[in-house]
Amino acid sequence: MGFFYLKFLKPPQLAPLKGPSGSFTLTTVFTITSDLGDVYFTDSIDIRATLSSGSAILLEKTISWTNGSQFVRCDMPFQSSKIPSTGLSGLVLSLSPVPSEVEGRLADGIDELCRIYPDPSIQVVSASSSQTKLKGKNLFAASHLVERRLKLRTTGDVLKVWEETGENIAGHVWDAGIILSAYLDHYADKSSGPLTKLHSRLNRKEEFTAIELGSGCGLVGLTLATVYPKSTVFLTDLSEAEELCRRNLELVSTTTSGVDFCVLDWYDTAIPETIPKDTADIILAADCTYNTGSVPALVKTFERLTENNRDAVVLLAHKPRHDSERLFFELMEDNFDIVERTDAALPKTSDWEDEDDGGQLPAQAVNLYTFKRK
């Protein structure tokens, strides 16, 4: 099936209550859906909502999400005596699944990439709101953005990636992207891994250049740039992805300077000059093959990026979603060979059925491929 993502349908708002002054209600509405937003989480789970200001926790509440839920409203009473000396404008609300097993508690809203690959023990990805800002005279509200906080195994850093709350395809993290990030983090300090051609290019002590196509909010490229500090990584996508991606670029560690964003539309015949197409070592894409309409343009872009650079490794993270995605592999066959493949398991919900559903493939794994020019 795949991962499910906590999403704010109504960003947290703090409003004064009628009656005695100094009483507020913090309100939010959230949902838990798949990356496509087409399936609600079907298991019952407790979600912990934590309101914090810096490292201080101001409020906590556990809310139940039950099988059949489509959204949950959360109201938390808040007294002005709890207001930190810094005021109300820096509050953050995090939503995290309450772990079923007893284990050390991570700070709120943080998920570990080591629990996503190789054995996914996380099924629901946490969310944190933006900091509440003063809005109007007495009302405080977070923006329509969600922050994913992913702890890297290799460096211990927490990678922070902002997403949009709506259905914009480029505006949020997708299953193949989160799996590929966890894969890269898992093998970063190992000398090899199942994709040996890829690992012969990845070395934490050596410089290399990577170009990511369809980077969306940038999770994969930012992971690569963070766990391989000597790399140079170009994130690319349509112009509508630029603002969010640049916002995320600003959040990565200052030691990770070799990462930038550039608009690269697969339908454009020319590759922008800033992209080092003839010298890149790795060209990667995650979850970019779901739309058969744009697949020929994507394949052409891989061809353009490798026609004078035939040694480059093309890395693809593919979550099989539909039979029609065969087209990508058929078109790639003209100029590329699949060199290696490894499959990364996806978590399953309790109502999982191993049945084909009229051409909709029940994805059990994200398939990671490397390709080389013929």
Residues that bind ligand SAM (CB under 6 A): 169-170, 173-174, 176-177, 214-216, 219-220, 237-238, 241, 265-267, 286-288, 294, 297
CB 15 within 8 A of CB 24: yes
C-beta neighbour count of 49 within 10 angstroms: 22
SS3 224: helix
Tokens 């070799």 found at: 258
Q: How far is the CB of 304 from ligand SAM (least distance, A)?
A: 12
The residue with its CB nearest to ligand SAM is: 177
Choice between 5 and 8, CB closer to ligand SAM: 5
Q: How far is the CB of 305 from ligand SAM (least distance, A)?
A: 13
Choice between 88 and 225, CB closer to ligand SAM: 225
**What are the CA-CA distances from residue 202 to residues 195, 229, 231, 362 (Å)?**
11, 11, 9, 32
Q: How far is the CB of 241 from ligand SAM (least distance, A)?
A: 5
**Nearest partner of 12 among 42, 53, 51, 61, judged by Cα:** 51
Q: How far is the CB of 294 from ligand SAM (least distance, A)?
A: 5
Choice between 203 and 294, CB closer to ligand SAM: 294
Choice between 203 and 364, CB closer to ligand SAM: 364
Q: In degrees to the nearest 10, what's the CA dihedral of 313, 318, 322, 325? A: -10
Q: How far is the CB of 9 from ligand SAM (least distance, A)?
A: 21
Check whether the bond before 97 is cis (ω within 30° of 0): no
Choice between 179 and 195, CB closer to ligand SAM: 179
**Nearest partner of 15 among 142, 161, 197, 177, judged by Cα:** 142
CB 259 within 8 A of CB 222: yes
